[in-house]
Structure 1
Amino acid sequence: MKNTPQHHTRRAALYGFAAAVFQYPDEAVVADLQDEAVQDAVRQAGVELGLDSEVEALLDALDGVDRDSLEPAYNRLFGLPGDGGTYPVVPYEAHYTTGDEVNESQRRIATVVGLLEEFGLEISDEFDERHDHVTVELELLQVLAAQRAVALDGGDDKTAVRLARAGATVLDEHLGDFVPAFAHRVRETVDGDGSSDRDVPEASAVYAAAAGLAAALVEFDEASHPDPVSPGTGVRADG
Protein backbone atom coordinates (compact mmCIF):
# COMPACT_ATOMS: atom_id res chain seq x y z
CA MET A 1 0.00 0.00 0.00
CA LYS A 2 1.18 3.52 -0.74
CA ASN A 3 1.26 5.24 2.62
CA THR A 4 1.67 8.74 1.22
CA PRO A 5 -0.23 12.00 1.66
CA GLN A 6 -1.40 11.81 -1.95
CA HIS A 7 -2.78 8.30 -1.49
CA HIS A 8 -4.87 9.26 1.52
CA THR A 9 -6.00 12.48 -0.13
CA ARG A 10 -7.41 10.36 -2.96
CA ARG A 11 -9.12 8.06 -0.49
CA ALA A 12 -10.66 11.10 1.18
CA ALA A 13 -11.90 12.41 -2.17
CA LEU A 14 -13.73 9.18 -2.97
CA TYR A 15 -15.23 8.78 0.49
CA GLY A 16 -16.38 12.38 0.43
CA PHE A 17 -17.96 12.12 -3.00
CA ALA A 18 -19.81 8.91 -2.16
CA ALA A 19 -20.99 10.44 1.12
CA ALA A 20 -22.29 13.51 -0.69
CA VAL A 21 -24.46 11.41 -2.99
CA PHE A 22 -26.37 10.03 0.00
CA GLN A 23 -27.19 13.46 1.39
CA TYR A 24 -30.63 14.82 0.66
CA PRO A 25 -30.27 16.22 -2.88
CA ASP A 26 -30.83 19.94 -2.45
CA GLU A 27 -29.49 22.41 -5.01
CA ALA A 28 -26.11 22.82 -3.28
CA VAL A 29 -25.52 19.06 -3.05
CA VAL A 30 -26.40 18.50 -6.71
CA ALA A 31 -24.19 21.40 -7.78
CA ASP A 32 -21.23 19.94 -5.87
CA LEU A 33 -21.76 16.49 -7.36
CA GLN A 34 -21.81 17.90 -10.88
CA ASP A 35 -18.98 20.41 -10.44
CA GLU A 36 -16.45 19.76 -13.20
CA ALA A 37 -13.38 20.28 -10.99
CA VAL A 38 -14.78 17.98 -8.31
CA GLN A 39 -15.55 15.28 -10.86
CA ASP A 40 -12.07 15.59 -12.38
CA ALA A 41 -10.49 15.10 -8.95
CA VAL A 42 -12.72 12.11 -8.22
CA ARG A 43 -11.95 10.59 -11.61
CA GLN A 44 -8.20 10.94 -11.02
CA ALA A 45 -8.53 9.43 -7.54
CA GLY A 46 -10.43 6.49 -8.99
CA VAL A 47 -7.70 5.82 -11.54
CA GLU A 48 -4.94 6.05 -8.94
CA LEU A 49 -6.69 3.66 -6.55
CA GLY A 50 -7.83 1.20 -9.22
CA LEU A 51 -11.50 2.07 -8.72
CA ASP A 52 -11.94 3.86 -12.04
CA SER A 53 -14.76 1.61 -13.27
CA GLU A 54 -16.84 2.30 -10.15
CA VAL A 55 -16.14 6.03 -10.37
CA GLU A 56 -17.03 6.19 -14.07
CA ALA A 57 -20.27 4.30 -13.42
CA LEU A 58 -21.26 6.91 -10.85
CA LEU A 59 -20.26 9.88 -12.99
CA ASP A 60 -22.17 8.42 -15.94
CA ALA A 61 -25.25 7.98 -13.76
CA LEU A 62 -24.98 11.60 -12.60
CA ASP A 63 -24.75 12.92 -16.14
CA GLY A 64 -27.86 14.94 -16.93
CA VAL A 65 -29.65 14.49 -13.61
CA ASP A 66 -30.87 17.45 -11.57
CA ARG A 67 -32.60 18.04 -8.27
CA ASP A 68 -36.01 17.47 -9.80
CA SER A 69 -35.03 13.95 -10.84
CA LEU A 70 -32.85 13.04 -7.84
CA GLU A 71 -35.23 14.22 -5.13
CA PRO A 72 -38.06 11.76 -5.91
CA ALA A 73 -35.51 8.98 -6.36
CA TYR A 74 -34.01 9.72 -2.94
CA ASN A 75 -37.42 9.87 -1.30
CA ARG A 76 -38.56 6.63 -2.89
CA LEU A 77 -35.44 4.77 -1.70
CA PHE A 78 -34.57 6.34 1.65
CA GLY A 79 -36.89 9.13 2.63
CA LEU A 80 -40.49 7.95 2.82
CA PRO A 81 -41.93 4.69 4.15
CA GLY A 82 -44.02 2.56 1.83
CA ASP A 83 -47.52 1.22 2.40
CA GLY A 84 -46.16 -1.33 4.85
CA GLY A 85 -44.48 1.36 6.94
CA THR A 86 -40.96 0.33 5.94
CA TYR A 87 -38.32 1.98 3.78
CA PRO A 88 -37.24 0.25 0.58
CA VAL A 89 -33.63 0.87 1.67
CA VAL A 90 -32.71 1.67 5.27
CA PRO A 91 -29.64 3.98 5.33
CA TYR A 92 -28.67 3.28 8.97
CA GLU A 93 -25.88 0.95 10.05
CA ALA A 94 -27.71 -0.60 13.01
CA HIS A 95 -30.36 -2.06 10.71
CA TYR A 96 -27.70 -4.22 9.03
CA THR A 97 -25.31 -4.99 11.87
CA THR A 98 -27.35 -5.34 15.06
CA GLY A 99 -30.91 -6.13 13.99
CA ASP A 100 -33.29 -5.93 16.94
CA GLU A 101 -30.55 -5.77 19.59
CA VAL A 102 -31.35 -2.33 20.95
CA ASN A 103 -28.48 -2.14 23.42
CA GLU A 104 -25.93 -3.10 20.78
CA SER A 105 -27.42 -0.60 18.34
CA GLN A 106 -27.14 2.17 20.91
CA ARG A 107 -23.57 1.18 21.70
CA ARG A 108 -22.55 1.32 18.05
CA ILE A 109 -24.22 4.69 17.54
CA ALA A 110 -22.52 6.02 20.67
CA THR A 111 -19.18 4.80 19.33
CA VAL A 112 -19.75 6.70 16.10
CA VAL A 113 -20.68 9.83 18.04
CA GLY A 114 -17.50 9.52 20.10
CA LEU A 115 -15.35 9.17 17.00
CA LEU A 116 -17.01 12.17 15.37
CA GLU A 117 -16.24 14.26 18.44
CA GLU A 118 -12.68 12.97 18.74
CA PHE A 119 -11.79 13.86 15.17
CA GLY A 120 -13.67 17.14 14.95
CA LEU A 121 -16.56 16.22 12.69
CA GLU A 122 -19.74 18.06 13.67
CA ILE A 123 -23.17 17.21 12.31
CA SER A 124 -24.78 20.12 10.49
CA ASP A 125 -27.97 21.54 11.96
CA GLU A 126 -29.60 20.88 8.58
CA PHE A 127 -28.73 17.16 8.69
CA ASP A 128 -31.71 15.59 10.40
CA GLU A 129 -30.58 11.96 10.52
CA ARG A 130 -29.25 9.50 13.07
CA HIS A 131 -25.49 9.39 13.55
CA ASP A 132 -25.22 5.91 12.04
CA HIS A 133 -26.48 7.18 8.67
CA VAL A 134 -24.38 6.04 5.70
CA THR A 135 -23.40 9.62 4.86
CA VAL A 136 -22.05 10.28 8.35
CA GLU A 137 -19.98 7.11 8.48
CA LEU A 138 -18.53 7.65 5.00
CA GLU A 139 -17.68 11.24 5.94
CA LEU A 140 -15.97 9.96 9.09
CA LEU A 141 -13.59 7.90 6.95
CA GLN A 142 -13.16 10.89 4.64
CA VAL A 143 -12.01 13.00 7.59
CA LEU A 144 -9.71 10.28 8.92
CA ALA A 145 -8.11 9.89 5.50
CA ALA A 146 -7.69 13.65 5.04
CA GLN A 147 -6.21 14.10 8.52
CA ARG A 148 -3.85 11.20 7.89
CA ALA A 149 -2.65 12.87 4.69
CA VAL A 150 -1.96 16.08 6.63
CA ALA A 151 -0.12 14.19 9.39
CA LEU A 152 2.11 12.35 6.92
CA ASP A 153 2.80 15.53 4.96
CA GLY A 154 3.91 17.20 8.19
CA GLY A 155 6.05 14.28 9.32
CA ASP A 156 3.81 13.55 12.31
CA ASP A 157 4.15 9.77 12.29
CA LYS A 158 2.58 9.33 15.73
CA THR A 159 -0.66 11.00 14.66
CA ALA A 160 -0.63 9.14 11.34
CA VAL A 161 -0.44 5.82 13.20
CA ARG A 162 -3.28 6.83 15.52
CA LEU A 163 -5.41 7.74 12.49
CA ALA A 164 -4.56 4.45 10.78
CA ARG A 165 -5.77 2.59 13.85
CA ALA A 166 -8.93 4.66 14.02
CA GLY A 167 -9.68 4.03 10.37
CA ALA A 168 -9.15 0.30 10.81
CA THR A 169 -11.51 0.29 13.80
CA VAL A 170 -14.24 2.14 11.90
CA LEU A 171 -13.95 -0.34 9.04
CA ASP A 172 -13.88 -3.37 11.33
CA GLU A 173 -16.69 -2.34 13.67
CA HIS A 174 -18.93 -0.33 11.40
CA LEU A 175 -18.58 0.03 7.62
CA GLY A 176 -17.04 -3.36 6.82
CA ASP A 177 -20.35 -5.16 7.32
CA PHE A 178 -22.71 -2.24 6.85
CA VAL A 179 -21.73 -0.79 3.47
CA PRO A 180 -21.66 -4.04 1.43
CA ALA A 181 -25.06 -5.05 2.84
CA PHE A 182 -26.43 -1.57 2.19
CA ALA A 183 -25.05 -1.61 -1.37
CA HIS A 184 -26.65 -5.00 -2.03
CA ARG A 185 -30.01 -3.71 -0.83
CA VAL A 186 -29.77 -0.57 -2.97
CA ARG A 187 -28.87 -2.57 -6.08
CA GLU A 188 -31.63 -5.15 -5.68
CA THR A 189 -34.19 -2.42 -5.04
CA VAL A 190 -33.12 -0.33 -8.03
CA ASP A 191 -32.94 -3.42 -10.26
CA GLY A 192 -36.42 -4.46 -9.21
CA ASP A 193 -35.35 -7.58 -7.33
CA GLY A 194 -36.13 -6.33 -3.83
CA SER A 195 -39.32 -6.39 -1.83
CA SER A 196 -40.20 -2.73 -2.33
CA ASP A 197 -43.90 -2.03 -2.80
CA ARG A 198 -43.34 0.55 -5.54
CA ASP A 199 -41.31 1.35 -8.61
CA VAL A 200 -38.24 3.54 -8.34
CA PRO A 201 -37.40 6.46 -10.67
CA GLU A 202 -34.73 6.12 -13.34
CA ALA A 203 -32.43 8.50 -11.44
CA SER A 204 -32.18 5.86 -8.69
CA ALA A 205 -29.31 4.45 -10.75
CA VAL A 206 -27.21 7.22 -9.19
CA TYR A 207 -27.67 5.68 -5.76
CA ALA A 208 -26.91 2.17 -6.98
CA ALA A 209 -23.68 3.41 -8.56
CA ALA A 210 -22.71 5.39 -5.44
CA ALA A 211 -23.35 2.37 -3.24
CA GLY A 212 -21.20 0.29 -5.58
CA LEU A 213 -18.35 2.77 -5.29
CA ALA A 214 -18.67 2.93 -1.50
CA ALA A 215 -18.62 -0.87 -1.20
CA ALA A 216 -15.59 -1.16 -3.50
CA LEU A 217 -13.77 1.52 -1.54
CA VAL A 218 -14.48 -0.18 1.78
CA GLU A 219 -13.26 -3.49 0.34
CA PHE A 220 -10.11 -1.76 -0.95
CA ASP A 221 -9.45 -0.24 2.46
CA GLU A 222 -10.11 -3.46 4.35
CA ALA A 223 -7.43 -5.16 2.26
CA SER A 224 -4.84 -2.49 2.98
CA HIS A 225 -5.51 -1.22 6.50
CA PRO A 226 -3.84 -2.65 9.58
CA ASP A 227 -5.81 -4.74 12.02
CA PRO A 228 -7.59 -2.65 14.65
CA VAL A 229 -5.32 -2.08 17.64
CA SER A 230 -6.37 -1.07 21.13
CA PRO A 231 -4.69 2.15 22.28
CA GLY A 232 -1.66 1.66 24.51
CA THR A 233 -0.74 -1.84 23.33
CA GLY A 234 2.50 -0.70 21.78
CA VAL A 235 1.71 -2.37 18.48
CA ARG A 236 2.56 -0.15 15.54
CA ALA A 237 0.11 0.15 12.64
CA ASP A 238 2.17 1.02 9.58
CA GLY A 239 -0.53 0.73 6.88
Structure 2
Amino acid sequence: MTDAPIIETGYENLNPVEEAVSQRRSVRAFLPDPVSEETIARILFLAGRAPSGTNMQPWKVEVVTGNARDALCADLVEAHHEGGHSGEYQYYPKEFFEPFKGRRRAVGWALYGLLDIKKGDFEKTKAQHARNFTFFDAPVGLIFTINRGLEIGSWLDFGMFMQNVMVLARSHGLETCPQAAFATFHKVIRNHVPIGEEDVVVAGMALGKADWSKIENTLITERVPLEDYVRFHRG
Protein backbone atom coordinates (compact mmCIF):
# COMPACT_ATOMS: atom_id res chain seq x y z
CA MET A 1 0.00 0.00 0.00
CA THR A 2 1.33 3.41 -0.92
CA ASP A 3 1.08 6.51 1.23
CA ALA A 4 -1.54 9.17 0.67
CA PRO A 5 -0.48 11.89 -1.80
CA ILE A 6 0.26 15.12 0.02
CA ILE A 7 -2.02 18.09 -0.54
CA GLU A 8 0.15 21.19 -0.75
CA THR A 9 -1.11 24.02 1.44
CA GLY A 10 1.64 26.62 1.17
CA TYR A 11 2.09 26.47 4.94
CA GLU A 12 4.87 24.75 6.88
CA ASN A 13 4.73 22.89 10.21
CA LEU A 14 1.02 22.12 10.21
CA ASN A 15 -0.32 21.34 13.66
CA PRO A 16 -2.47 18.19 14.07
CA VAL A 17 -5.77 20.01 13.57
CA GLU A 18 -4.48 21.82 10.47
CA GLU A 19 -3.16 18.54 9.08
CA ALA A 20 -6.47 16.76 9.67
CA VAL A 21 -8.44 19.49 7.89
CA SER A 22 -6.04 20.33 5.08
CA GLN A 23 -5.38 16.72 4.05
CA ARG A 24 -9.03 15.69 4.01
CA ARG A 25 -10.22 14.57 0.61
CA SER A 26 -13.05 12.56 -0.94
CA VAL A 27 -11.73 9.00 -1.18
CA ARG A 28 -13.26 6.79 -3.87
CA ALA A 29 -11.59 3.44 -3.19
CA PHE A 30 -11.42 1.76 0.21
CA LEU A 31 -9.91 -1.34 1.75
CA PRO A 32 -12.28 -3.98 3.18
CA ASP A 33 -10.70 -3.73 6.66
CA PRO A 34 -13.50 -3.55 9.23
CA VAL A 35 -13.97 -0.54 11.50
CA SER A 36 -15.04 -1.30 15.04
CA GLU A 37 -18.44 -0.13 16.22
CA GLU A 38 -16.68 1.49 19.16
CA THR A 39 -14.63 3.67 16.80
CA ILE A 40 -17.68 4.62 14.72
CA ALA A 41 -19.62 5.54 17.86
CA ARG A 42 -16.69 7.60 19.19
CA ILE A 43 -16.43 9.58 15.94
CA LEU A 44 -20.15 10.27 15.79
CA PHE A 45 -20.39 11.19 19.47
CA LEU A 46 -17.56 13.71 19.27
CA ALA A 47 -18.93 15.06 15.97
CA GLY A 48 -22.06 15.93 17.93
CA ARG A 49 -20.12 18.83 19.48
CA ALA A 50 -20.79 20.70 16.23
CA PRO A 51 -22.54 24.04 16.76
CA SER A 52 -26.24 24.36 16.06
CA GLY A 53 -28.69 27.23 16.43
CA THR A 54 -30.18 27.23 19.97
CA ASN A 55 -28.54 23.81 20.43
CA MET A 56 -31.19 22.07 18.29
CA GLN A 57 -28.74 19.36 17.13
CA PRO A 58 -30.73 18.46 13.99
CA TRP A 59 -28.57 15.55 12.82
CA LYS A 60 -29.52 11.88 12.64
CA VAL A 61 -27.32 9.06 11.35
CA GLU A 62 -28.08 5.51 10.20
CA VAL A 63 -24.96 3.31 10.26
CA VAL A 64 -24.88 0.27 7.97
CA THR A 65 -22.19 -2.42 8.12
CA GLY A 66 -21.88 -6.12 7.32
CA ASN A 67 -24.89 -7.86 5.79
CA ALA A 68 -27.10 -4.79 6.29
CA ARG A 69 -24.69 -2.71 4.22
CA ASP A 70 -24.38 -5.38 1.52
CA ALA A 71 -28.15 -5.75 1.12
CA LEU A 72 -28.65 -1.98 0.90
CA CYS A 73 -25.85 -1.61 -1.64
CA ALA A 74 -27.24 -4.38 -3.86
CA ASP A 75 -30.66 -2.71 -4.04
CA LEU A 76 -29.16 0.75 -4.56
CA VAL A 77 -27.00 -0.40 -7.47
CA GLU A 78 -30.01 -2.09 -9.07
CA ALA A 79 -32.14 1.04 -8.61
CA HIS A 80 -29.36 3.17 -10.09
CA HIS A 81 -29.28 1.06 -13.25
CA GLU A 82 -33.08 1.08 -13.51
CA GLY A 83 -33.31 4.88 -13.14
CA GLY A 84 -36.45 6.87 -12.49
CA HIS A 85 -35.67 7.98 -8.93
CA SER A 86 -35.52 11.51 -7.55
CA GLY A 87 -34.53 13.21 -4.31
CA GLU A 88 -36.66 15.30 -1.97
CA TYR A 89 -34.62 18.49 -2.19
CA GLN A 90 -32.59 20.44 -4.73
CA TYR A 91 -28.86 20.07 -4.06
CA TYR A 92 -27.46 21.72 -7.20
CA PRO A 93 -28.79 24.74 -9.12
CA LYS A 94 -31.22 23.85 -11.89
CA GLU A 95 -28.83 25.49 -14.35
CA PHE A 96 -25.11 25.75 -13.59
CA PHE A 97 -23.35 29.07 -14.12
CA GLU A 98 -19.80 30.36 -13.79
CA PRO A 99 -17.55 30.07 -11.91
CA PHE A 100 -19.31 27.02 -10.44
CA LYS A 101 -19.96 25.34 -13.78
CA GLY A 102 -16.27 25.43 -14.67
CA ARG A 103 -15.16 24.10 -11.28
CA ARG A 104 -17.64 21.22 -11.52
CA ARG A 105 -16.48 20.27 -14.99
CA ALA A 106 -12.82 20.47 -14.01
CA VAL A 107 -13.11 17.99 -11.14
CA GLY A 108 -15.33 15.68 -13.15
CA TRP A 109 -12.94 15.43 -16.06
CA ALA A 110 -9.93 15.20 -13.77
CA LEU A 111 -11.43 12.12 -12.11
CA TYR A 112 -12.59 10.56 -15.36
CA GLY A 113 -9.21 11.25 -16.93
CA LEU A 114 -7.50 9.24 -14.20
CA LEU A 115 -9.98 6.40 -14.77
CA ASP A 116 -9.61 6.59 -18.58
CA ILE A 117 -13.29 7.36 -19.06
CA LYS A 118 -13.65 9.28 -22.30
CA LYS A 119 -16.26 11.94 -23.03
CA GLY A 120 -19.40 10.26 -24.34
CA ASP A 121 -18.61 6.86 -22.82
CA PHE A 122 -21.92 6.63 -21.02
CA GLU A 123 -21.56 3.00 -19.94
CA LYS A 124 -18.28 3.57 -18.11
CA THR A 125 -19.62 6.82 -16.66
CA LYS A 126 -22.72 5.08 -15.32
CA ALA A 127 -20.63 2.20 -13.93
CA GLN A 128 -18.35 4.64 -12.10
CA HIS A 129 -21.35 6.53 -10.72
CA ALA A 130 -22.76 3.21 -9.51
CA ARG A 131 -19.72 2.81 -7.28
CA ASN A 132 -21.22 5.52 -5.08
CA PHE A 133 -23.85 3.00 -4.07
CA THR A 134 -21.33 0.45 -2.83
CA PHE A 135 -19.81 3.23 -0.70
CA PHE A 136 -16.76 2.77 -2.95
CA ASP A 137 -16.25 -0.58 -1.17
CA ALA A 138 -15.90 1.04 2.27
CA PRO A 139 -17.00 -1.30 5.08
CA VAL A 140 -19.09 1.41 6.75
CA GLY A 141 -21.91 3.39 5.21
CA LEU A 142 -23.50 6.38 6.91
CA ILE A 143 -26.90 7.77 5.94
CA PHE A 144 -27.70 11.27 7.22
CA THR A 145 -31.27 12.46 7.73
CA ILE A 146 -32.94 15.62 9.00
CA ASN A 147 -36.49 16.48 10.03
CA ARG A 148 -38.25 17.96 7.02
CA GLY A 149 -39.85 20.66 9.19
CA LEU A 150 -36.51 22.35 9.80
CA GLU A 151 -35.21 25.29 7.79
CA ILE A 152 -31.95 26.23 6.06
CA GLY A 153 -30.19 27.19 9.31
CA SER A 154 -30.46 23.62 10.58
CA TRP A 155 -29.13 22.32 7.25
CA LEU A 156 -26.11 24.58 7.70
CA ASP A 157 -25.64 23.13 11.19
CA PHE A 158 -25.85 19.65 9.69
CA GLY A 159 -23.00 20.48 7.33
CA MET A 160 -20.79 21.36 10.27
CA PHE A 161 -21.64 18.04 11.91
CA MET A 162 -20.71 16.16 8.74
CA GLN A 163 -17.42 18.05 8.50
CA ASN A 164 -16.67 17.01 12.07
CA VAL A 165 -17.27 13.38 11.11
CA MET A 166 -14.85 13.65 8.18
CA VAL A 167 -12.09 15.32 10.19
CA LEU A 168 -12.49 13.07 13.23
CA ALA A 169 -12.32 10.00 11.00
CA ARG A 170 -8.84 11.06 9.92
CA SER A 171 -7.71 11.10 13.56
CA HIS A 172 -8.38 7.33 13.56
CA GLY A 173 -6.49 6.64 10.33
CA LEU A 174 -9.74 6.54 8.36
CA GLU A 175 -10.98 8.45 5.34
CA THR A 176 -14.41 9.38 4.02
CA CYS A 177 -16.39 10.38 0.97
CA PRO A 178 -19.53 12.49 1.45
CA GLN A 179 -22.11 11.46 -1.16
CA ALA A 180 -25.16 13.53 -2.05
CA ALA A 181 -26.06 10.82 -4.59
CA PHE A 182 -27.78 8.78 -1.89
CA ALA A 183 -30.54 11.37 -1.49
CA THR A 184 -31.93 10.39 -4.89
CA PHE A 185 -32.68 6.89 -3.64
CA HIS A 186 -34.39 7.69 -0.36
CA LYS A 187 -37.25 5.28 -1.13
CA VAL A 188 -34.82 2.37 -1.54
CA ILE A 189 -32.98 3.34 1.64
CA ARG A 190 -36.25 3.41 3.59
CA ASN A 191 -36.77 -0.26 2.70
CA HIS A 192 -33.62 -1.09 4.66
CA VAL A 193 -33.46 1.34 7.58
CA PRO A 194 -36.39 2.74 9.59
CA ILE A 195 -36.41 6.38 8.47
CA GLY A 196 -39.68 8.10 9.33
CA GLU A 197 -41.65 10.09 6.78
CA GLU A 198 -40.95 13.17 8.87
CA ASP A 199 -37.27 12.94 7.88
CA VAL A 200 -35.42 13.75 4.64
CA VAL A 201 -32.40 11.76 3.45
CA VAL A 202 -29.68 14.40 3.19
CA ALA A 203 -26.68 12.36 1.99
CA GLY A 204 -24.60 9.26 2.52
CA MET A 205 -20.96 8.89 3.46
CA ALA A 206 -18.37 6.16 2.98
CA LEU A 207 -16.07 5.51 5.95
CA GLY A 208 -13.04 3.22 6.12
CA LYS A 209 -9.35 2.84 5.39
CA ALA A 210 -8.33 4.31 2.04
CA ASP A 211 -6.80 2.11 -0.63
CA TRP A 212 -4.04 4.47 -1.70
CA SER A 213 -2.91 2.07 -4.43
CA LYS A 214 -5.97 2.98 -6.53
CA ILE A 215 -5.50 5.63 -9.20
CA GLU A 216 -8.68 7.54 -8.30
CA ASN A 217 -7.25 8.30 -4.88
CA THR A 218 -4.40 10.26 -6.44
CA LEU A 219 -6.90 12.98 -7.39
CA ILE A 220 -6.20 16.23 -5.55
CA THR A 221 -8.81 18.87 -6.28
CA GLU A 222 -7.73 22.45 -6.79
CA ARG A 223 -8.74 25.23 -4.44
CA VAL A 224 -9.12 28.85 -5.46
CA PRO A 225 -6.68 31.35 -3.88
CA LEU A 226 -7.67 33.07 -0.65
CA GLU A 227 -8.13 36.44 -2.34
CA ASP A 228 -10.90 34.96 -4.50
CA TYR A 229 -13.20 34.48 -1.51
CA VAL A 230 -11.85 36.57 1.38
CA ARG A 231 -11.70 40.35 1.80
CA PHE A 232 -9.98 42.06 4.71
CA HIS A 233 -11.44 45.40 5.85
CA ARG A 234 -8.85 47.33 7.77
CA GLY A 235 -9.61 50.40 9.83
**TM-score, length of structure 1 as denominator length:** 0.34
The structure with the largest helix share of the pair is 1
The structure with the largest strand share of the pair is 2
Question: Higher relative contact order by CA 8 Å / sep ≥ 6: 1 or 2?
Answer: 2
**TM-score, length of structure 2 as denominator length:** 0.34
